[in-house]
Structure 1
């Protein structure tokens, strides 16, 4: 019996045609009542990059996509228990965290922030990983 569902399956050669990749992945996995959302960035759900040069705009897009993906898996933003935020420059911390804080006001997830040298595409200034737990 399968205890997990995969949503929005795709191959990396479609999302990253400029890179020599061929990996089968998906946007969301629901394993029983736990929901794992793929890192959300400046790429919208149609594959377009939004907010180039604007960390806050990229975060708005990432959170908009995360909300949609969580709902597709039967969850909500209120179910978020852990986030990991990656930024490519310390200067992006405040604008990114302000946007995330607006979206997750009153939720109180555990949070980790990491400054990285780069992300999957050079246009990406931030990325957020999300784990949610649907109440029984």
Structure 2
């Protein structure tokens, strides 16, 4: 079973707000491609609705985790791509709906957020990829 050590407090750095500064792990890693708000038929979920798109993207990521035999506790890094980062609190709230029941009070995975001019389809508002430590 992999060991995950989430480092949240770093001398000289501001505390990570909703993320760990670093995560160490042992074992095999999976690099999960970016997930967007497309359903199983390739149809967009949540036209112009960041909350709905975030939920669908995370459902899609959760499906990949299950296929890998992993859970949210095994995610060691997120990369988030947003068209409008002013709505970040919405994403944080929904992310926590998914990962808090599994992580409890442990720090969230390491994370990077990038504002982009657009994603592969103009109606997509958010994309998330992940690095997973396979149990």
Whole-angstrom CA distance in 1 between matches of 2:40 and 2:32: 13
Q: Are 1:128 and 2:123 an aligned pair? A: no
| Structure 1 segment 29-44 matched on structure 2, within 5 A | 33-44=28-39
SS at match of 2:79: strand
CA drift of 1:87 comes to: 0.6
CA drift of 1:45 comes to: 2.9
1:93 corresponds to which residue? Answer: 88
Consecutive unaligned residues of structure 2, counting only runs of 5 or more, are: 1-26
SS at match of 1:104: helix
| Structure 1 segment 1-136 matched on structure 2, within 5 A | 33-105=28-100, 106=103, 108-135=108-135
Higher strand fraction: Structure 1 or Structure 2? 1
TM-score w.r.t. structure 1 length?
A: 0.71
Q: CA RMSD in A?
A: 1.5
CA drift of 1:100 comes to: 1.1
TM-score w.r.t. structure 2 length?
A: 0.71
Higher relative contact order (CA 8 A, sep 6+): 2
The number of equivalent residue pairs is 104
